[in-house]
Amino acid sequence: MDYKMTAQQRKEYKASGGQKCPWCDEADLIFEEITVDFNTVTQEVFCPGCERYWFNVYAFTHIDTPEEVEERDINGKEINRGSAS
């Protein structure tokens, strides 16, 4: 299996939010368990289309307080409670 990936493939995969296989464009990807090693979070992704797998590596982006977490829905968007604060 050839796992060589061009910079363009990486760029498109990242821009799509990891929705499609970088090699064959399969959209029905299998996201395996997430592993956490100190501050590196890795997730294996398997493509049933071309049977390749790869690793999504997630980086720390920001900090939320408990109040801020409560104000977000499952997609991370702020829930509008009608207050203009």
Q: Which residues of this protein are in contact with Zn ion, per CB under 5 A? A: 21, 23-24, 26, 47, 49-50
Q: Which DSSP string do the residues of 19-39 spell out, in sequence order?
A: -S-TTT-----EEEEEEEETT
Closest contact distance (angstroms) between CB of 56 and Zn ion is 14
Cα(59)–Cα(41) distance, integer angstroms:
7
Cα(1)–Cα(17) distance, integer angstroms:
24
Residue 16 or 40 with smaller CB distance to Zn ion: 16
- Per the DSSP assignment, residues forming a β-bridge with 37 are 40
Residue 4 or 77 with smaller CB distance to Zn ion: 4
Residue 18 or 49 with smaller CB distance to Zn ion: 49
Closest contact distance (angstroms) between CB of 26 and Zn ion is 4
